[in-house]
Amino acid sequence: MINHPVGRPAQPGPDATAPPPAAAPPPSAPRAAGPGGAVRAGGAIPLALAPRPARVLVLLAAFVCAACGLVYELELVALGGYLLGDSVTQTSVVLSVMVFAMGIGSLLAKGLTRRPATSFALVEYALSLTGGLSALALYCGWAWLHQPRATLVALIAATVLIGLLIGAEIPLLMTLIQRIRREHAGRAVADLFAADYVGALIGGLAFPFVLLPTLGQTAGALLTGAVNAVAGAVVVLWLFRAEPGPRTRLLLWTGCGLVLALLALAAACTGAIERAARHALYGGPIRFAAQSRYQEIVLTGGPGPAGAPRADDAPRVPAQRTAPPLELFLDGRLAVCGPGEYRDHEALVRPALAGGPSGRVLVLGGGDGLALREVLRHPAVRGVLVVERDAALPALARRDAAFAALTGHAFDDPRVRLVQAEPLDWLRGSAERFDVIVADLDGAAAGGKYRSREFFGLAARRLAPAGRLATRGGLPDGGLWTAESGLDAAGLAAVAYQGGAPAAADCGYPGPAPAFLLAARTAPVLDLAPDVPAPRSLTVPALRASEALLTARRPSPLPPPHTLLGP
């Protein structure tokens, strides 16, 4: 730095030769900022802080924006899996489209770097609205439009728009950092990317462990949008408040207020919107609706307060009016149809507990308590261990009066022990042996891991020498033969059978009857225990007849078993 003398400059004498004029700096050269000023072409932008804390604040904004951006991304991934199924496909589509859109957004941000602070505020406001309202808008469209293809198009459109806006953030933040203090580009990029990646880590952890279980999809997205808007406002309307002119600054303040007001209005209306959407989707009165860490749980219909008329309606309602059927939906798919659920659970459990020891029983999944009810009907059962990953399901089976009555209050039986764990992980870490294992799990869920060779191999290791394993096989033309092949690879001989009409038919969801598999180290014989009340839907001749029909349809050779690494 050149030090100038203090005081009045000396005047040259009359005969002194005039010094040559100093070369003027190029008009485009940036001037160094003084304390509290940011460098810009033609002058310095006054800042609310000194350069060092101002730079820290911009990096903190990058941290917050990255956390919010990853929350939006995970919201879309989870929502795509919930609404459209096939979580692997939805995850691949959302991630690939978003990364592509982020690259395009970074290119488009080149035209915004002349006024980076104002542009950054506008980008954050647009991102707050788009990301915050995306979950609610997609859910409502899916519930009311009943067009899966339209939902997929809307999901991709939301992903593209959010990706474009996220991609524009880094170039603008980089420009703001360089406006505060010029430094080597590599150092600035390293600091900015470090803040961005750490923020993404925090957002990625906050989504499944904090936002989703405590607030749910829609409220979590709305709160994230509000945080996003505030982060953009702090950087621009306080730290860089001298860049926009007075009129622009007023518009930015107004825009921030409108964004927060719209998000607050959406949050206030979320409950009513979700209730209306669920009513349009499920039809009956909603007894219970919640978003657990793992899935959306909705219980509709049935007798009791949810389906009962109000007192002022009682004179106008005929006394013989029947309540709608009790139905349990998991992630929008029917899991339990109250009037006919016994068909599925009797077919799954009763043959497995006949013709051998059944003192110790393991139920994998079955958090609704319905398979457990059938197990407990057998007096030879001394103890039952239920391994369920989602604690919200057993809690619902205990809390809701109609659902608890449907389960026969199975979880209150002293023979029952409940463990909250992922079934596959629990099998890997356990050394207990059981006479009967009942896998009440959806074989098509979670990428098919519950019908994989690895799953059946771990389950077989938990069987006693004369133990039996019962599992859902799916449809005869679907995953049934792949599941049987997996049992065969695990060293178990299996028989396939059906239990009659599908349980969902009583709730208006007709379809082919599902098949089940009973396996043991030696080929089991289908039978029913004589010392328990007769099942309502099964007979020994019907079971053996269905076995013969499916045996005639069995392909030879069987298809290769499903594995965790392959289809």
Distances (CA, A) of 490 to 91, 444, 458, 484, 518: 31, 19, 8, 10, 13
- CA 13, 18, 19, 23: dihedral to nearest 10 degrees? 140
Cα 396 to Cα 348: distance, rounded to the nearest angstrom: 22
**50 CA to centre of own chain:** 42
Q: Which two tokens stand for residue 46?
A: 């006054």
Strand 434-440 to 463-474 pairing:
parallel
| Cross-strand partners of 43 | 40
Torsion-angle region of 433 (φ positive above 0: left; ψ -120 to 50: alpha; else: beta): beta
| Cross-strand partners of 440 | 365
| Cross-strand partners of 384 | 361, 416
Cα 206 to Cα 552: distance, rounded to the nearest angstrom: 52
Contact (Cβ atoms closer than 8 angstroms) between residue 408 and residue 377: no
Residue 313: CA count within 13 A, CB half-sphere: 7
- Determine the Cα angle at 139 with ends 88 and 214, to 5°: 85
| Cross-strand partners of 498 | 515
Q: Other CB atoms closer than 10 Å to residue 557's CB: what's the count?
A: 8
Q: Other CB atoms closer than 10 Å to residue 409's CB: what's the count?
A: 14
Among the listed residues 15, 313, 440, 506, the single catalytic one is 440
| Cross-strand partners of 520 | 468, 493
Nearest to 351, CA basis, from 558, 553, 169, 496: 496
- Give yes or no: 191 in active site: no
Catalytically active residues, by annotation = 440
